[in-house]
Chains A and B, each alone.
Chain A
Amino acid sequence: AQSVTQLGSHVSVSEGALVLLRCNYSSSVPPYLFWYVQYPNQGLQLLLKYTTGATLVKGINGFEAEFKKSETSFHLTKPSAHMSDAAEYFCAVRMNTGNQFYFGTGTSLTVIP
């Protein structure tokens, strides 16, 4: 089975500071990669995804992620944190065969004013 590792279950940043949320996957074949955000009492909203092509992917709300095959990573970044970014963030992978998603354990982002 695939595994997805999100380093840091809790990350705190100051408003305006860089956001970096880490995600590594275990797969010898590059999977499809996703980041989802979950606001309190809400569902999972797709931030961005990588399937093929350009390895730097831009998503909603100013987030972007870079697929690095050599590092089996797909870290999520945002240059300047906003208070509204406070949420739970999940990295997920899907193999290019099959439909099942594998989620990481999530990273809770706190933005300090």
Chain B
Amino acid sequence: EPEVTQTPSHQVTQMGQEVILRCVPISNHLYFYWYRQILGQKVEFLVSFYNNEISEKSEIFDDQFSVERPDGSNFTLKIRSTKLEDSAMYFCASSLRGDGYTFGSGTRLTVV
């Protein structure tokens, strides 16, 4: 069964550093998403991406965040200057038609 692949599974970074989280969506999917889950809290929407541009973003997705689909297969989330409160599990998801998603297994980001 096709999978969404996320790397790395766990990343530790120092506060203020830039971090890039990588995702390989399912190859024929057209819609791409990032969600995050702070420990013990609900899964929160960050951003959706379609047709090479952001289609929706939440208030969490401020100027410190950016997304890119650099080569037609990868979908990345960049955090420019990490804060302690960015520590969370980040999930990438993709969808063919914008309905049921397939989620990746997540990247656990720890900011120290």
Residues of chain A whose beta carbon lies under 8 Å from any beta carbon of chain B: 32, 34, 36, 41-46, 49, 51, 90, 92, 94, 98-106
Contacts and interface: CB of A to CB of B under 8 A. Distances in A.
A43 to B, nearest CB: 4
B7 interface: no
B42 A104 contact: yes
Q: Is chain B's interface secondary structure helix, strand, loop, or mixed overall? A: strand
A60 to B, nearest CB: 11
A101 B103 contact: no
B37 to A, nearest CB: 9
A99 B103 contact: no
Which 7 A-B pairs rank lowest in CB-CB distance, beginning with the nearest? A43-B105, A44-B103, A103-B43, A43-B103, A105-B42, A99-B98, A99-B48
Contacts of A46: 100-102
B33 interface: yes
B28 interface: no
Contacts of B58: 100
Contact of A103 (B31, B42, B50, B105): B42
A46 B98 CA distance: 14
29 contacts: A36-B103, A41-B105, A43-B91, A43-B105, A43-B106, A44-B43, A44-B91, A44-B93, A45-B103, A46-B102, A51-B99, A90-B43, A94-B99, A98-B56, A99-B33, A99-B48, A99-B50, A99-B55, A100-B45, A100-B48, A100-B56, A100-B58, A101-B45, A102-B45, A103-B35, A103-B42, A105-B41, A106-B42, A106-B43
| Chain B, interface residues (CB within 8 Å), range | 20 to 34
Interface string B22-44: 00000000010101000001111
Nearest to A32: B99
B105 A42 contact: yes
A108 to B, nearest CB: 10
A103 B36 CA distance: 11
Interface string B3-23: 010100000000000000000
